[in-house]
Structures are given as structure tokens and as C-alpha cells.
Structure 1
Amino acid sequence: MNYAELLKRMPNELRRSLETELYGPWLNKGVSLAEVCTDPVVVKTIWGRMVDTERTVLRTLVLRIGSEPFDYARLEKATSPVLSGAETRLGLCGLLRKGIVFAFRKTWGEYLYLLPIDGFGLWRDLLLPEETSGCERPGDFVMPEVIRSARLSLRLELFQTLVFAAQHGLKLSKNGTVHKKLLQKLADQLGLNGELLNGASLKYAYADTYPLPVAVALDFLLRLQLLSQNEEELALQPEAIRNWLSASPEAQTKRLYLIWKQLTLSPQAWMQHAVSMAERLASGGEWFSAEMLIANLSAQGITEEHEQAEEQSQELQARWLLPLVAFGWMEEGRSPTGGSMAWFRWTEHPFQSGDAEASDEGGLMIQPDFEILAPPDVPGAVLWELCCLADTVRLDQVSIFKLTKSSVRRALENGRTQGEIVMFLESHALYGLPEHIRLAVEQWAKPFGKTSFMQACLLRCVDEETAQSLERLPGASQYLQDKLGSNHYLIAAEDVKPLAAVLEKAGMMPGVPSDWKGSETAAQASAYPKLGEHADNNRHDLREWTGDKGFIYARTSVAYYEMEARIPSAIDLYPEYSEIPAGWLRDYRSYHASTRKEMVEKAIRLKTVLQIRKDGCDYRITPHKVQETRGSWCMTGIGRTASTIDHIEEMRLMPEEWQEMKLILPGINDKYLY
């Protein structure tokens, strides 16, 4: 989950706290809370305001856990032995209070915590600014030869799927899946390489029916809300499609990439770091390998088991890099000199292009042989309409269409008129519409509509007297069309139910078949919707996370839990606080051996810290256990000097080996340590 989605779900109490107590100065400048939370300058400022425990917990999260939901036990294990349990708890509360980490309450009362996926990237950039220095290619590097790339990028594959849905429909069978014949046609049309997608290990609904490429394409369209599912079909959403097509190709690619990343990025922190590192590499010619990324992670101490480097490289390729090749965002190469190492480079980088709206300047090149060429700068809405009135020969960077009699008929059957078709071609033709093409379109369209079939229903009256009384019935005559004979009428399909209601009210009790559903209105009958060429002012923001109703099962369930609004205070972290003698927290002095033991045992229960003075030096120790020995006892724990948390060591002390002590409750009395 990212900040945009989290902020939409955030309880008002927590949102007000962030807006007034922390981010107010930036919000007063007219920017949104989502923009503030993802601003690198703000992030750097907040880092400067953190206390040591907050920084240590955050650093641990970024390096060891990433943006995967975690429980407190996992965090405590990751921060040990640098921090005690109480220090970790306090640091986590500080991050919750600053809106850096978010808490979710499970149904049984336990909590999961989450560092947003875009927050992970921001904090990683701050903590590991020099990471790409390890991504240097070897001195004998030879430019690889491309061995795998996608013919179409994902955004064009999805566009083609939308056109298919508009031309053929996506009707559902009784089991809720697209009808088998339609499904096969769609699968044949899609160019997504299912073999390259296999490594992502996707789990999805109807896996026994939908091929993986089809499931992936439909999942994207559902999450973008370009399709919606009802009982009968996967229905096009014209408003959302118009808004989507009004965005630039760069903005579309970025949105699609973020959806894919949100759904499928591995929970393993090392892979999240590797993905982030790959995102920093520039598009266009900069080849890199999975092995280079893993080696860099090892150099930074993020991965420690060098013997697993080969396995990690293979996993990174299969789970992440090869699916990006399938989507046309990367291509794969091999060295011409031989070797088994795979090389990759970006072809469509999701983060190195602006979000500018698509240009309206692109035009169509209409050829004398009825072929139409569409350069890459043609707006999406123009391509959409062109797919309605012309046959697609090839969809690519420069797409080719063919204007035919059957394609013009398809446009007419989908609600376009002869005049609209000619006007569309004339207004978007770069070099004008050839006269013979205009005449051909007019000739092909001229016979259309002179005869037509319509769906109707026959109303039969038992006798002529009943028919006459029906004609006199108030409210009924508007639904009676042609009279057939003396006692039969044609009724338009959409008028059957309204007329039945009038007859019921008059006490006639008409018999309407139980399975009658009527027919679509003329507007609904047009399967290929008109979009227009410009989005309205209410266009949805492509930067935001959209729907969660897709076929692919998300790897985490945190989205289904309720976000926690209340952040514990320091005293809330210590349920036994009222039972602790005030002197233990206030006085730094010697105690009787029995009292010392009590204090140690209390520290162990609270997972907190003792400060002791030993031979003139102050130490902070996190005790782990008390052992009875030879009529006395000893304390074992992790100790460090009171002035630093960097140098730590295991300590085993008898009670007489230190002179003074006091109990430290982080957040309560740790500010008076020295």
C-alpha cells in the first residue's frame, strides 16, 4: 500500500494529528498531505527531528523488513540486540506518530504495522544514497544482443483488450467466467508471454479457466476500473476509459508499474532493495544484471549469505525482471561472446518521464489504398475511435489500420453516422482526406438504416372488446405501436414492463413471462461506446491506487484490516508503571542485593534497560535472565556504554560487581540519563 491509499483510509483523528502537529507548516503552503509525506525535502527534515531510537527502528525497517506488513515480535527480533524491547516499542510509536509507519488492527485484537511502499523508497534513498556505485559493469563488458523483448508494451496490450471487449463483449457464463469461445479469441489476440510471467508465482481466481496472460490483462483493467464485473458480463466503463486514454503513455506506464509492484513485489527485504536499485538505473542502453544488483546488496550488508547469491540472482530474474520484459518495460540480452549471464535494460522506465497529458497534435496519415497510419503521438481517444471504424492491421509504435466496407458498417451499427465518420477522418487527417475515400465511405454507408430489425413483443387481447378498452385506458396508448388485426399490438421490448404496470393498476393482470428481461435501449445497444477526445475536469488522478477488485490475489491482507487511529503514549507502553517504586526511576544509587534482583527481574519483564555504574563508568544493560549461583545470583544481558549504542557486548555480572543503578523506562526517564 502507498501513501495515497493509506491517507484515503486514515481515521480523521490520526489525520488531524498529522496535519496540525507535524506537517502543518508544509500544508499551509497549499500542498496536499500525500505530497508532503512523499516530498524528499520533508523526509530529510523529519529525519533530523527524530530521536535515536526512532532512527534505529526506521533504519532496521528499511534494511531488514521493507514495505512488508510486520508484527511487533518480528521488529523486536530485528532490532535486538541494538535496542531493548521497550526502546523498540517507543521508537515504533514515534514513527506511528509521525505518519511514517501505520498500524492495522486484526479482528482478534493483534496489530500489524506497515511502512508504505513509496515511503520505503524515500527512506532508502536517504539512508543509502551511494548504492549505485556497486552497479558497475566489468572492464571486459561487451554490449549484449537482445534475445527477448515484447512486441507491444503492456499499455497497448490493455488498449487492444479494451477494443476487443468493445467489439465482441465479455459475456460471462453461469460460473462467472468469460464464455469459452470469447476467451479463446482474447487469448489468441494477447501477446503477453505467459512463460515470462510464470516466475511471479501469481495466485488468481478461475486459474483453471483463464490462461495467465488473460488473467493478468483483465486484472489490470478491473483495478483501473476500466472494466467492472456484474452478473452478466465484464462491462466497459466509458468515463474511466476516456480519462485513462487522455493520460500520456508515460503516465499510463507509471500507473501500471505501481499496480504491479503493489500486487507482486516480494516480501523479502533484499528483493525490495534490488528492485529499488534497478529503478534508479536510467532508461535507454544502460545494461545491468541481477548478479550486479545482488553483489551491491552484499557490499552494503543487506545480504549476508554469499553462498545464496546465485539463488537470489535467479529468483530476482524470475520473479521480477522477466515479467517486466513480458510487459515491454525491459528487454533481455546475452553477450555475443558467450556466457550464461542475462543482461537487462529499461525500454520504458516508469519513473523517468513526466506525467504530462497526451498531446493533441498527432494526426493520421490516410493512404490512397485505404490504409491509415497512426504515429505514436496520436491521442488515445483518436485511436479508440479509429479502431471502431477501421480494421486493425497492426498495433505498434506506428499503428496501421484498414478502412473497409465491413469496418464502416461496424461503426454504423455502433451508433456512428455517415457524417460523423467522414468528419472524424477529415479532422484528424494530417494531409487531408482523399476524395475517393470520402466518396467510398458515403457510398458504403448510404443503404444503412433504410431497413432494420427491432426486438418487440406481441400483446394479444382475448377479444376485440378487450382491445378497444385497452386503447381507452389512461396511460396505455403511449406504449401501443402497430395494431395487428383486431386484437393484437406490437409493443417495444423496453415498454413491456411499464405497460404491464399500467394494466396491473387497471386490474387486468397481464401475463408477463417470468424470464422476460426486455432489451437494451438504443444507447445501450451500442457496444462500442463513444468517448470523445478530451477528459472532463473530474478526471481521476492516475497517481492514486485504484480498485482492489481484480483476479490476482494480493500478497498481503493488510488492506482488509481497520487502520488504528490511537497511538499509545509513553506510559501506555508500561502496564506495570504504577507498581514501580518512584525511586527506582529517579534515584541513581546503590541498592541492597535483593532490591537489585527485583529491579533486574522487573527490567526483564518490561524488556527495558538498566543503567549501572561500574568502576567509574556508566553502562546501559538490557538484562535477559537471572541465574542462581553458589548462594548468590548473576545477571546476563547485552551491555553498552551509556553514551553510545554502537559498541555492544554480552555482559555477565554478579550483584556486587556494580556500584549504582536505576531502572530506565524509555520515553519516561531516559532523557535524564547523564
Structure 2
Amino acid sequence: MNRDELPHTTRPVLQEAETQVLTRVWQCFAGQPFDDAELSALSVPPLSGAEVLAAVTGLVRSGELQSAPKAWGERWFYIPENHLAALQEQFYELPPEIYAAAEPALKQEAAPGLPRDVLQALLFLHQEGGLELTARGTIHKRQLQKLNRLKTGLQPEHVYALGVSDQHPDLYPPVAAVLLDLLLTLGLVREQAGSLRLDSKAVRAWLALPEESMHALIFQQVLNRYGAPSVPLQHFRRLLCCRKLSPHAWIKGDVLVASIAGFQAKPAAMESVTAGAQAWMNFMAAAGWADIGQCEQGRPWLSLRLPGHALLSPPRGPIDESSLSIQPCLYVQPDGDILVLPDAPLSVHWDVARCAERLSEDRITTYRLTRESLQAAARQGYSAGEMLNGLMRYSLSGIPESVADAVQLWGQSDVAASPESSADREKLHCSEAAGQSAAPEQAGITKNLHTRGFALQKGLIHHDHLVERLEPDFNVPYADALFPGLKDIPRSWTRELRSYHRSTAEKLMETALGWRMALELGAAESVVRFIPLQHEPAPWKMTGLLYEQESAAPRRVVLGAEDWPRLRILLPLSCE
């Protein structure tokens, strides 16, 4: 069963031990899988190893953890990705000093955003009529170089610092690789007849989305695939999406990193975690999600442009274009310049850029109508009448007569009807019919995005995340499999706190050690909890952790046969 098809139910009420174990699993592993050996080494004081194991099996049954087969009968365990945000809200408290009181020096301002970069790539493919593929299945160098020269907020150093790899690192420059990856994974292009061509239906659905939904879809695509599988860095990336973090406030990145440093039993090298966190913050700025600042001591701070939790939320679906009323949002100047205001939908940028050259993008994006741009639009089937109608619909001040005359002159239908343009139009639009019926093998992986008009496809960029290769199942062992021979011991060993003959008491304690269970020891009026760790046969001794009632912290002690007048094995709750 695919992880996306797993049943979603209301989260169950957990036993106290299960909550303790789930907290520690989240801290130590985040969304990364762990195996039986790592489970055996997991320390969750004051629980015994048996109690931890029983809690994990209970968490798998309840759906809080998933399990997948490994080799030789062993298993993988991991937290389902769609549970991570809720567990983060439940188990993580922001450090009180997380926010900066003073304004830092601005080091990297948020770029216009990856949705704008994707738009530039869509326009490039539209103008080119697609991207031709070589016999090796790669893009021709000439087109690739032109794609890489697009004006985007993303720079090569932002991609290199993440340490991601693509299928052809020797062929695809980093920015071009990201743009192609996003076009592929968002389903905006598809391979047809030896080229990558726009899927017109998917492009229209994409452009009908609110821009914040575009940000969310892109973020959810890159969160894991572009982020390193390191547990501390996965925590860092997701903590920036915490509901408790205020957008537009300056967040101390170094404090956030320090707050997760002690989560793991074997803390990662802080230098690598700090470098990875800085790389992710820089990428967020390039993607349009955050501003990066630097305090006087040189430590990195960031301010979220968008609420982090909104980037993880299900995006709003496409807008019904028949009921959509776009307010005028641009000015057409007599010299042919078009000034598009900041809040203009990307669908307006798409319509304008199809017939004009982009000059600059800041708060206001500037385009220019030129003879070359109008003739290129005509060759792509964008008639002079359509251009003028679109500009009139969006313009706040109408269209100067000189501009209307130029559009009529240079965007004439006879230019659009040239043999060259007919071929180009067929290349551009033939993928629309192809988009109406996805290949059978794509049906499963695209099902969750079909309602939004997109088809999720395999991209170019990835980190090697083991969890993506696992197939979860529901084969969870019960007590008799977890603790073989449990039914064969005398019931009094687990039911009564009593004294035994020395040889029986030694055997009872050795049995508890084999199952990694705790013991209850009674002497005089006191009762203590003891977790055996190591047995020495001659003379007979047992080393372990002793939890006394008056102290939460255990003492490591060595007990002999004469040190426990009464005892019993403490079964995990699920085995009683």
C-alpha cells in the first residue's frame, strides 16, 4: 500500500508510555526511519526496553508510527510525514529568547519568489515551443543555456549549498535544474515526441491558483527532496513552519538550531548543522519565503514573509475563471512600457509577457512592447485583437493610441499565419490533447493532485531519503512474539511481589534481563524499580538502574542474590 493511500483517522488517545516513546522518537529521528537495532538502543527513562518496544508496537497499531519490512525478518519504523507537524506542535516549545528585540542588518532580501521563477520558465517554453530532447533524453545545450540565463531570484550558490544532486549534474546548471525539476513535479510539462512541452490544461489550472497556493505547492515539493535527510536539519526546516512562530518578526536562527541540538542521543556536529541551517535559510530567501538578517555578532536571523504553517497547509484549489473578476492592475505607457502593480495575479503577468519583454522586476514589474515581442506573440497564435483586449481589460488608464496602432501593425494576423508560426502553434498546443488522458502507470501517483489539475511527476533533483523507498504494512507482532516464552513462566513471577529460593530468584531476574523488562524489588517497607542491564555469573551479580521512590533519577547499582527479599517482573501494560 502506498503511503498516500494509508487510512486517515482521528488520532487515538495514547497511554502515558506511548506518549513518552513517541516524544523521544520524534526528537531522535524526526521523519527518518529507524531499525530494530536503533529501537533497542533508544533510551526513554524511566521506561524499560520492553516497555519501549511494547509502546512502539502500540503506536504502529494506532497509526502514530508506520512499519515496513527490512531484511531477515527485521523491520523499519518511522513517523508518517502527515503527522510530523502535529507532533511538532505538541512536543516542541519555542525558546523564550527566540525573537530579536532589535532590527538586524539585512543580508539577503526575499526574492520575488519561486512562483515568479516558474512563470519565467513557462514563458520560455511557450516562446520556444518546447524543449527538444537528445537521444540520451537530455535537453539540447543551446536551449539549456538560454533557460539558465532567465532572470530569477534563485542563484547557483543557493542550490549548491543545499548539497542536492540531479540526474545529470554534468549537463544541467543548478538554476536550470531547479526550474526543470519544478516544471516536471508540478506536472506543467510532459514528454511528447522527443521534447518537453507545456501541458496547456495544467498551465491554465496553475495560473488560476492564488499565489500563496503556488508557494505552498512548491514548498511541499522541495521541503524533503531539496532538504538534507539529517535529523537536526529536518527538525530545523519544519520548525520554521511552526504555528507558534510569528511571521514578519525577526527569529534568531542560531537559537532555533541550539534548541534542537540536544534532541538526539548522539548529537550531530554543530558546525555541519549550523551550515546546513544557513543554507536552508538562504534558499528560503531566494524562494521568496523569508528575509535573512545578521546581528552584530554575525549570527543569522530570519523573518518569514509568509506564515510557515501556511506553506505546509493544503493549498486552495484553482479559481473558477468564469466567475473570476481581475481588477485593473497595470498601466500602459505611450512609449510601450507596461507597469504591472505588485498585487497583480500571475495570470496577468502571463498574458502580458506573452507579447512583451520583461525589463525589470521590483515592487513594480516593467515590460515593454517591441516589434520583436509582438511578432513573436503573433507567431505563437496570440492575435493583435487578443493582445489589445487583454491589455484593455487589465489597464487602469486605457491604451494610448500610439500603442494600439503599433500592436495592430506588428501583431497582424498574416504574421501569425506564416508557415513557421503554424508549426510553432501546433508544437505548443498539441500537448493539451495529450494531457486529457494520463498514462496508466501515472494514475496512482497523480491521483492526489488531479483535483487541482496537476499531475505529479518525477523530478530531477533529490536527496536520498530512505523513507521514500519503504512500503509500509500493518504486520505488528503481539506479546508472545515480542517476548518468546512469556506464556510458559509461572504467573506468580509477574503477579506477586514475593520471595523465592535463591536459584529461582536468579532465574527470574535473568529472564527479565533477556526480555529487557523492569523488576519491582521489595525490602522491608520500601519498594523500588530496577532495570537489569548486565549479568555476571560467578559470583552471581546483576548490574542495573535503580529507581527509588524519592528520586526521579536512577542510580547504577550492582546487586547480589541477598539484596532483594521480594521481587516480581513488571510487564508492559499491553502484556498484562
Picking from 545, 558, 563, the partner of 1:652 is: 558
Shift of residue 541, structure 1, vs aligned partner: 7.8
Judging changes above 3 Å, is the alpha-carbon distance between structure 1 residues 525 and 323 closer, same or farther for their aligned structure 2 residues? closer
TM value normalised by structure 1? 0.73
Correspondence 1:638 to 2:535:
no
Runs of 5+ consecutive residues of structure 1 not aligned to the other structure: 24-36, 38-45, 456-518, 531-537
Judging changes above 3 Å, is the alpha-carbon distance between structure 1 residues 153 and 97 closer, same or farther for their aligned structure 2 residues? same
TM value normalised by structure 2? 0.84
Matched with 1:664 is: 570
Matched with 1:332 is: 292
Matched with 1:399 is: 365
Matched with 2:160 is: 198
1:323 corresponds to which letter in structure 2?
F
Provide the C-alpha distance between the structure 1 equivalents of 2:569 and 2:448, rounded to a whole number of angstroms: 58
* 1:44-82: CA deviation from partner (whole Å, max 9, x where unpaired): xx5xx3212101101112222222222232233232553
Maintained 8 Å contact 1:243/1:540 = no
Picking from 217, 220, 233, the partner of 2:179 is: 217
1:239 corresponds to which letter in structure 2?
K
Matched with 1:495 is: none
Matched with 2:327 is: 361
Provide the C-alpha distance between the structure 2 equivalents of 1:209 and 1:656, rounded to a whole number of angstroms: 74
Matched with 2:440 is: none
Q: Please, which moves more after superposition, 167-176 or 150-159?
A: 150-159
Equivalent residue runs for 1:314-329 within 5 Å: 314-318=275-279, 320-329=280-289
* 1:9-33: CA deviation from partner (whole Å, max 9, x where unpaired): 32xxxx3xx64xxx3xxxxxxxxxx
Correspondence 1:60 to 2:18:
no
Provide the C-alpha distance between the structure 1 equivalents of 2:466 and 2:413, rounded to a whole number of angstroms: 57
1:235 corresponds to which letter in structure 2?
R
Provide the C-alpha distance between the structure 2 equivalents of 1:546 and 1:134, rounded to a whole number of angstroms: 43
Shift of residue 263, structure 1, vs aligned partner: 1.9
2:52 corresponds to which letter in structure 1?
T
Equivalent residue runs for 1:413-432 within 5 Å: 413-432=379-398
Correspondence 1:271 to 2:233:
yes
Maintained 8 Å contact 1:53/1:90 = no
Provide the C-alpha distance between the structure 2 equivalents of 1:544 and 1:422, rounded to a whole number of angstroms: 29
Secondary structure of the residue aligned to 1:225 is coil
Maintained 8 Å contact 2:360/2:367 = yes
Picking from 505, 508, 518, the partner of 1:609 is: 518
1:106 corresponds to which letter in structure 2?
K
Matched with 2:404 is: 438
Secondary structure of the residue aligned to 2:476 is coil
Correspondence 1:147 to 2:107:
yes
Judging changes above 3 Å, is the alpha-carbon distance between structure 1 residues 408 and 251 closer, same or farther for their aligned structure 2 residues? same
Provide the C-alpha distance between the structure 2 equivalents of 1:227 and 1:193, rounded to a whole number of angstroms: 23
Judging changes above 3 Å, is the alpha-carbon distance between structure 1 residues 351 and 583 closer, same or farther for their aligned structure 2 residues? closer
Shift of residue 242, structure 1, vs aligned partner: 2.0
Provide the C-alpha distance between the structure 1 equivalents of 2:454 and 2:88, rounded to a whole number of angstroms: 22
Correspondence 1:259 to 2:207:
no
Equivalent residue runs for 1:533-548 within 5 Å: 540=449, 547=456
Judging changes above 3 Å, is the alpha-carbon distance between structure 1 residues 414 and 340 closer, same or farther for their aligned structure 2 residues? same
Maintained 8 Å contact 1:250/1:350 = no
Equivalent residue runs for 1:287-306 within 5 Å: 287-297=250-260, 301-302=262-263
How high is the sequence identity, in percent, across the aligned residues? 26
Provide the C-alpha distance between the structure 1 equivalents of 2:72 and 2:238, rounded to a whole number of angstroms: 34
Provide the C-alpha distance between the structure 1 equivalents of 2:516 and 2:448, rounded to a whole number of angstroms: 52
Maintained 8 Å contact 2:229/2:463 = no
1:369 corresponds to which letter in structure 2?
D
1:448 corresponds to which letter in structure 2?
D
2:4 corresponds to which letter in structure 1?
K
Judging changes above 3 Å, is the alpha-carbon distance between structure 1 residues 243 and 137 closer, same or farther for their aligned structure 2 residues? same
Maintained 8 Å contact 1:176/1:231 = no
Secondary structure of the residue aligned to 1:412 is helix
Correspondence 1:343 to 2:301:
yes
Maintained 8 Å contact 1:291/1:310 = no
Judging changes above 3 Å, is the alpha-carbon distance between structure 1 residues 331 and 529 closer, same or farther for their aligned structure 2 residues? farther
Provide the C-alpha distance between the structure 2 equivalents of 1:160 and 1:234, rounded to a whole number of angstroms: 16
Secondary structure of the residue aligned to 1:601 is helix
Maintained 8 Å contact 1:117/1:262 = no
Shift of residue 605, structure 1, vs aligned partner: 2.1
Judging changes above 3 Å, is the alpha-carbon distance between structure 1 residues 544 and 391 closer, same or farther for their aligned structure 2 residues? closer
Matched with 2:356 is: 390
Provide the C-alpha distance between the structure 1 equivalents of 2:252 and 2:380, rounded to a whole number of angstroms: 49
Matched with 2:438 is: none
Provide the C-alpha distance between the structure 2 equivalents of 1:73 and 1:237, rounded to a whole number of angstroms: 47
2:256 corresponds to which letter in structure 1?
L
Q: Please, which moves more after superposition, 84-93 or 268-277?
A: 268-277
1:263 corresponds to which letter in structure 2?
R
* 1:133-190: CA deviation from partner (whole Å, max 9, x where unpaired): 122447xx5x333233354322211111111122122211122221111111111114
Shift of residue 563, structure 1, vs aligned partner: 1.2
Matched with 1:104 is: 68
2:169 corresponds to which letter in structure 1?
A
1:153 corresponds to which letter in structure 2?
G
Provide the C-alpha distance between the structure 1 equivalents of 2:286 and 2:104, rounded to a whole number of angstroms: 18
Secondary structure of the residue aligned to 2:505 is helix
Provide the C-alpha distance between the structure 2 equivalents of 1:226 and 1:558, rounded to a whole number of angstroms: 26
Shift of residue 222, structure 1, vs aligned partner: 1.6
Matched with 2:149 is: 188
Q: How many residues align?
A: 551
Provide the C-alpha distance between the structure 1 equivalents of 2:452 and 2:49, rounded to a whole number of angstroms: 38
Provide the C-alpha distance between the structure 2 equivalents of 1:307 and 1:103, rounded to a whole number of angstroms: 25
Maintained 8 Å contact 1:146/1:332 = yes
* Higher RCO by CA contacts (8 Å cutoff, separation 6 or greater): 2
Judging changes above 3 Å, is the alpha-carbon distance between structure 1 residues 604 and 162 closer, same or farther for their aligned structure 2 residues? same
Equivalent residue runs for 1:510-521 within 5 Å: none
Provide the C-alpha distance between the structure 2 equivalents of 1:375 and 1:541, rounded to a whole number of angstroms: 32
Shift of residue 115, structure 1, vs aligned partner: 1.5
Secondary structure of the residue aligned to 1:549 is coil
Matched with 2:212 is: 250
Judging changes above 3 Å, is the alpha-carbon distance between structure 1 residues 122 and 522 closer, same or farther for their aligned structure 2 residues? closer
